[in-house]
């Protein structure tokens, strides 16, 4: 109505607001006939509502602020019994407000005193990489298990998913050391039976052999002890073009190679059957080779300011729930 009052045509209003032209005409006619009353919602067909707004509000308050006496969270039936409503009504209200009491998620907040500085450093490498330099995300996927099922896997068939026994035979473990080229998405991968500084130094030597000699190398990695051990420090002293950027504690999400590990786990390891460690390593390295045949880099989109602002909002909400006294003090100091 405001755009129409400013002189815009129905076609222009529809295009600007992303609605149909006849919708604009309908509401203009209703406003012209009944003025503001015409913009109110009209009575709809069907039986009138039997659940009042007050009862919906009570259901929401009980969902968000209380728990049942005999459980840690509400179910539709327990909530229906507590509120005197039907389970279907509880389901509709929860769905409308995006409430899922049966679900829970985990989180981890870094206690690293240099968290903000490290986030800005690493995100800066992703969004604005240095000239004449290579950015590598390095980490190890440790304890990959060579598992053989005690019974043959039953293949999928119409109406029934693939089935496998819960029992397995463990043939040993291996670790994948990987370096992801952030710009092109290629991965340098090596498998080692042990996870020590000696293996990490050998992996750095393998990486150095495939990295062009005229480029500086910026390595994003975590604070694992093997990354700072004397053999590694000695190797770095002899390769001055390598610059390490450590992620904050409990912040592996900053390392893009973790996304590659997640794909490897989902596509090759989780449902794989390997009768020996050699078979496991061959499968993993074959996956790396196929990945490198058609590499696709992961695209980092969030700036450091966005990440830090999101963490700050989360911390504020957490304080507001558990320590409102600290929340007020924090706001006062801010």
pLDDT digits (tens, 9 = 90+) for 266-325: 999 999 999 999 999 999 999 999 999 999 999 999 999 999 999 999 888 888 877 666
**pLDDT tier, 50 (very low <50, low <70, confident <90, very high otherwise):** confident
Nearest to 123 by CA among 133, 110, 109, 137: 137
- For 59-106, write each residue's pLDDT tens digit: 999 999 999 999 999 999 999 999 999 999 999 999 999 999 999 988
pLDDT of residue 334: 52
Task: Quote the CA–CA distance of 292 and 185 in Å, as a whole number.
Answer: 8
Q: Which residues pair with 179 in a beta bridge?
A: 138, 188
126's tokens = 């992703």
Q: Among 188, 247, 181, which Cα is nearest to 215's?
A: 181
At 321 the pLDDT is 76
**Phi/psi class of residue 190: alpha, beta or left (left: φ > 0; alpha: ψ in -120 to 50)?**
beta
User: What pLDDT does residue 226 have?
Assistant: 94
Nearest to 118 by CA among 233, 232, 251, 300: 251
């Amino acid at each position: 109505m405001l755009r129409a009052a400013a002189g815009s045509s129905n076609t222009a209003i529809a295009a600007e607001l992303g609605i149909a032209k006849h919708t604009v005409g309908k509401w203009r006619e209703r406003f012209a006939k009944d003025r503001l009353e015409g913009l109110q919602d009209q009575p709809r067909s069907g039986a009138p509502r039997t659940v009042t707004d007050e009862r919906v509000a009570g259901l929401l308050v009980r969902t968000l602020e209380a728990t049942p006496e005999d459980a840690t969270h509400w179910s539709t039936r327990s909530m229906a019994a507590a509120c005197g409503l039907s389970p279907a009504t509880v389901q509709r209200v929860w769905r409308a407000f995006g409430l899922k009491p049966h679900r829970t998620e985990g989180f981890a907040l870094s206690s690293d005193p240099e968290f903000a500085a490290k986030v800005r450093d690493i995100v800066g490498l992703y969004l604005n990489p240095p000239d004449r330099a290579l950015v590598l995300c390095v980490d190890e996927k440790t304890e990959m298990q060579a598992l053989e099922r005690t019974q043959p896997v039953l293949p999928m068939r119409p109406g029934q998913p693939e089935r496998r026994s819960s029992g397995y035979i463990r043939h040993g473990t291996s670790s994948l050391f990987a370096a992801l080229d952030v710009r092109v998405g290629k991965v340098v991968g090596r498998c080692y039976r042990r996870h020590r500084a000696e293996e990490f130094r050998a992996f750095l030597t393998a990486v150095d052999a495939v990295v062009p000699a005229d480029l500086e190398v910026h390595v994003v990695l975590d604070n694992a002890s093997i990354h700072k051990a004397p053999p590694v420090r000695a190797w770095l002293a002899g390769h001055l073009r390598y610059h390490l950027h450590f992620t904050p504690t409990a912040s592996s999400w900053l390392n893009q190679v973790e996304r590659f590990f997640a794909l490897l786990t989902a596509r090759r390891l989780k449902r794989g059957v390997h009768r020996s460690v050699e078979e496991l390593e061959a499968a993993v390295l074959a996956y790396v080779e196929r990945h490198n045949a058609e590499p696709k880099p992961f695209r980092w989109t969030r700036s450091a300011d966005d990440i830090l602002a999101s963490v700050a909002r989360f911390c504020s909400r957490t304080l507001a729930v558990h320590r409102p006294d600290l929340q007020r003090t924090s706001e006062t100091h801010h």
